[in-house]
Structure 1
Amino acid sequence: MAGPHHHAYVWLGSGDVLVKPGDAHRRPDHPEFRSAQVMPLECADWLLKPAARIEATFDEAKEGAEWYAGQLARYAELFVGASMPDPLYEETVRALAAGEDRVGGWWVSGGRFLSLNLIACSPHRVRPEYTCPQR
C-alpha cells in the first residue's frame, strides 16, 4: 500500500501471558516473537508481526478514529466495575492525521488485558526503517 496509512491491531488476552516469564517473547529478536499472539513491547514492532494480524487498514484519519471508538464500544462490557475509556475521537483524528500512532491498553475483567492499536506505516515516525507488512 502506498502513502501514509495506519494498520489496526487488537490483542485481548490473559495478563499472565504478558510476563511469560519475563517479556523476551515480546521483543523482535526473540525466536517466538513472530508467532507469539501477545502484543509487542514497542508499538512500532506490530509492523514486524505477520500481516495476518492486521485487523484493518485506514488511509483516512477519521476512518481510523471511528474504528478505534467502535472497538472500545465493542469491548465495553469488559470494563465492568471501571469506567470505559473515552475514545477521544478528535484527538485520535489529530494524531492519525499527523502520522502518529494511537495506542491504548487497559486491564479488564477476568485478569485480561485489552490492547487497541493504530500503527502508522509508510513510514513509521520512530522506526522509519520498518517496511510495511503486506496482506
Structure 2
Amino acid sequence: MAGPHHHAYLWLGSGDVLVKPGDAHRRPDHPEFRAAQVMPLECADWLLKPAARIEATFEEPKEAAGWYGAQLGRYAGLFVGTYAPEPSYEETVRALSAGEDRVGGWWVSGGRFLSLNLIGCGPHRVRAERVCPLR
C-alpha cells in the first residue's frame, strides 16, 4: 500500500499461551514468532507477522477509530467485573491522524487476554524499518 495507513490486528486467546514459559515466542528473532498466534511484545512487530493476520486496513483515521470502538463493543460481554475500557473516539482519531498506534490489551473472562491494535504503517513512526506486510 502506498501512503500512511493503519493495519488492524486482534488477538483473543488463553493467558497461558501469552505467558507460556517466557516470552521468547513473542520476539521476532524466535523461530516460532511468525507462526505464533499470540501478539508480539512490541506493537510495531505486528508488521512482521504474515499479512493474513491483518483484520482490516484503514487509510482514514475515522474509519480505523470506528473499527476499534466496534471491536470493544463486540467483546464488551467478556470484560470481568466493573472494568471495561472506555476509549475516546476523538482521542483515537487524533492519535491515528498523527501516525500513532492505538493499542489496547485486557484480561477478560476465562483467563483469556484480548489485544486490539491499530498499527501505523507507511512507514511506522517509531520503527521505520518495518516494511508493510501488504507489499
1:42 alignment counterpart:
42
Distance in 2 of aligned mates of 1:123 and 1:134: 12
TM-score, length of structure 1 as denominator length: 0.98
Distance in 1 of aligned mates of 2:14 and 2:80: 16
CA RMSD of aligned residues (A): 0.9
Divergent runs of 4+, >2 A: none
State the Cα deviation string for residues 69-91 of structure 1 (Å, max 9, x = none): 00000001001413321121110
Unmatched runs of 5 consecutive residues or more in structure 2: none
State the Cα deviation string for residues 28-77 of structure 1 (Å, max 9, x = none): 00000000000000000000000000000000000000000000000010
* Larger deviation, residues 24-33 vs 80-89: 80-89
- Give the aligned residue type for 2:102: R
2:11 alignment counterpart:
11
Distance in 2 of aligned mates of 1:83 and 1:33: 31
Distance in 1 of aligned mates of 2:114 and 2:82: 14
Identity of paired residues, percent?
Answer: 84
Q: How many residues align?
A: 135
Displacement of 1:19 = 1.4
Unmatched runs of 5 consecutive residues or more in structure 1: none
State the Cα deviation string for residues 67-119 of structure 1 (Å, max 9, x = none): 00000000010014133211211100000000000000000001100000000
Distance in 1 of aligned mates of 2:20 and 2:111: 14
Distance in 1 of aligned mates of 2:82 and 2:25: 30
1:55 alignment counterpart:
55
**In the alignment, is residue 81 of structure 1 matched against residue 81 of structure 2?**
yes
